[in-house]
Structure 1
Amino acid sequence: MKRFVFVATFVVWLCWAPTASAQYVWQYVTREQAIQKVREIVGDDAAPVEVQYIAPPSLRLGVEALHRLRCNNWEFFICAFNINHWRWTWYYFLDESFYDEPFSEEMLRRRATLSEQEAVAIASSYMQTHYPLPELLNHIEVRSGGGIGRIPAEYTVYFWQRLPNGVYGPSWCRVDVDRVYGRVTGAGCVYYPLLVSTIPILTPEQAFAAAAQQLGLVNAEAGVVDRLFVMYPDPFGWQTLVYRLTVYGDRPGHVWLGYGCAVDAFTGTLLGWDILHGSTQQKGKPIRNTAASREQPVKVDWDGRPVHLNRPALDIGGDAYFWVGYLMAGGERSGLRWYKNGECIVVTGRGQVRLQARQSRYSIAGRQMQASKAPQLIRGRLYVPIEMMRQVLGADIRYDRAKQCVFVRTRE
C-alpha cells in the first residue's frame, strides 16, 4: 500500500467565529538540530552530546514523538516535530559531583534554606534565557516538593500564558530549583501559537452535565472547574478549548467516586478522565439535565498505537464520522471555508472538496462523487462519514463498531 503522511499546514480562519481555528505547522527536527538545541540549552557550543534515540520523520505527527539525548548527565527529550517543545532532567545518581559537599546531617538541616521568592527569581532568570517568547508567560504558580536521601527538596515554578479572560494558553515553562543550593535541576519548555477561539460555547454547568453523562454517573454532582485552557495541537495540527473539572457520582459496579475530567468547551466531548484519589467522601452540587447524547466518541488506532484527537471521531448511527477539517491532511495550501447554509469548501491534497450538510453528493476537484451517508452537523461542527475520509485521503481507514475504534494504517 502506498504510504501517506499527514502534513499539517496553516489555514484560513473559519467563518464561524465561536469555533474559529487554524492548523499548526508541524516541522521535523533533524538529528543535527536536536544536538544543537541541547548545546543551546546547556550554554556550551562544544558540549558532548550522546544521542540515545532519534524519532524518524515517518512517525505520526504530534507531541508523542520524542528525540532522546544526554549531555553532562542531563537527559533531554525534544519533540520530534516542534523544537520549542522540550524538557530535561538531571540524573542525580550519575553525577556525584553535583553537590559541593557530601551528603551529611548539616545538609539535611539546610534543606529548606532557600525561600520561595528566591526560587522564583532563579527560575525567572532561567525562563527568560531559554524560553522563545518570555513575554507571553505572565502568570506564576509555585509548588513545593520534599527531598529523599541525597535528592534535595525543591521548588517547581510554573510560568503560564494566561489571557485577559482567564483562559490558559497552550504555552508554558516549568523550572525545578533545589532548595539547598538554589540550582536548576530540571526544566521544560512548551511553545505553540494560539490558533483557536478562547470563547467557550458551553457553560461550566453544561460541561459538568456532559462529563457526567458520558461517564454514566448516577446521582451526579458537580465539583469545581480547575481551569479553562487551550490544549496543544493534535496529530492533525488542531487545537481546542478545554474545561478541566471534577464531577462526583456512582457508576454501575463502583462506589461513589470523584473524577477529574477534560471536556471540550465547544462540543462537550469528554477528552479524558481519571479517578480522584481519596474522593469517596467528597460532595458537590447536584447536576441536572444530563440527557444522553446520540453521538458517542470513538477511539482511533494509528498503526497500532492510540491517537488523541482534539476533535474526536464520533459514532453516529453505527458509523464513524470525522470532523471535516481532518480532510485537509496532506494539502500544501490547505484551507477550510464554512458557510451558514451548511456548505463547506475544503482545500485538500487532492484538490478542492465541496460538500453540504445532510447531502450525500460531494465533489473532489470538480469530479462528482456519491457517498452512502451524508455529512452531519453536530453542535456547530460538520462531520463527514469514514468513506469520505478514505476517498479524499486515499488511506486505509476502517471502523470496528464492536470495539468502538477507527483503525488507520499508513505502513505497508
Structure 2
Amino acid sequence: MIEKKDISLEKTVLVGIITKEQDDVKSKEYLDELEFLTYTAGGEVLKRFTQKMVMPNPKTFIGTGKMEDVRQYVEVHEVGTVIFDDELSPAQERNISKILNCKVLDRTNLILDIFAQRAQTSYARTQVELAQCEYLLPRLKGMWTHLERQKGGIGMRGPGETEIETDRRIVRDKISLLKKKIKAIDKQMAVQRGNRGKLVRVALVGYTNVGKSTLMNVISKSEVFAENKLFATLDTTVRKVVIGNLPFLMSDTVGFIRKLPTQLVESFKSTLDEVREADLLLHVVDISHSNFEEHIESVNNILTDIESLGKPTIMVFNKIDAYKPEPFDDTDLIEERTSAHFSIEEWQRTWMHKVGDKALFISALNKENLDRFRKRVYKEVRKIHVQRFPYNEFLYPDVEEI
C-alpha cells in the first residue's frame, strides 16, 4: 500500500493505546486506518508503538517509560512527526512536544490536514479553515508562549494585552468571519437546491473510500474524481440521472470516518444538507473491509447527528469482487466458525434478514449486479415520485418493464 522507499514521504511514527474498550484487535484496526490516513497526507510510517493502559495518562497520553522508547526511536531514526491515534488535549500536546522535540499530531489534526489538502472549492476551503481555527484556538498558548510581551512586575500592571491574547482575538475574529461567509454561501446553495424543482433526490452516503464516487461515475456516466485514498471527495457533486425514462438527482457526499473530529462535523453540516434534504439514501459499504459492520455503525451515528437516520435507505454492499472470506477448516474441532468465514451468499441472507429487500451486493468497479441495482433504485425513486405526482403514475412503467 505504501512505497517504503519513497523519499518524498515524511517519516512518521504512530502511537496508540490498548484499553478495556479498545482491545488488541481493535487497536490494530484503528492504527491500520491511521496509517492509511498518514499515507493519504503524505507520510511514511516507520514504526507503531502501543501500550496497555486503564486510561490515557493526563499529562503525556502514554506512560513515561513508553514515551522514552518513542523519544529514543525518534532521535535515532530522525523521525519528523509522531501521530497519536486519539485526540490530545492542549496540555498533552505541549508536554509531548517538549519531550520528543519534533512535530506532534493527533488523529484530529491529521484528518484536518487531509481535508485542507483535498479542499478544491472556495466553500470546502472555508469549511476546513473554520474547523482548523476552532481546533487551533485552545492550543494557542503552547504555540505562542515565547512571544508573550507582558511579564508582570513594576510598571507592567497597566492596561494592555499579551501576544497570546492578541492572537486569540485574531483567531476568534477569523472564526466569526468564516461563519458569516459559510452562512452567505449556504443561502446561495439553498436557492440552488430550491431551483432544482421537485425532482426526487438520492444521496450516496458511507464510510470514506467505499467506492461512492466510482458508483456515481458508473450510474450517472460522469467524471467525479475517485481515488484509492481516504477523503478523495470533499465537495458534494450533484448529477441528473435517468433510469428508464424517470429523471432524478443523485449526490455524492463527503465520506465519514470513525472518531471524526467534532469540528469537522460542525463545519461540514451545511455540506451534509444534501443528505438531510434527500428523499432516498444509498448507504454504500465496502464489504471487502474486515471491519465493515463497525463502519456501518459509524455512518449511522453521524446520520443520527444530522437527523437523517430514519430516511428510506438501501444498503449497497460494494466491492464484492475484492471480498475474500477467511478459510475455515470444518475438521478442526477447536476452531470456531465466525462471520469472518461467511461467503457473499451468507452475507446476503444475513442482511436480507435484517433489512428485507433493501440490501444489494454489487461491484461498481467491475460493473457486477448493476442491472439489479438500477432496477432497485428505479423502483424506490418511482414510488417517491408517484406519491409526489400521482397523475404521473402511468408515465413511468413498473420496474419489470424497464
Instruction: Give the TM-score taking structure 1 as reference length.
Output: 0.25
Structure with the bigger RCO (C-alpha within 8 Å, sep 6+) is 1
Instruction: Give the TM-score taking structure 2 as reference length.
Output: 0.26
Higher helix share: 2
Higher strand share: 1
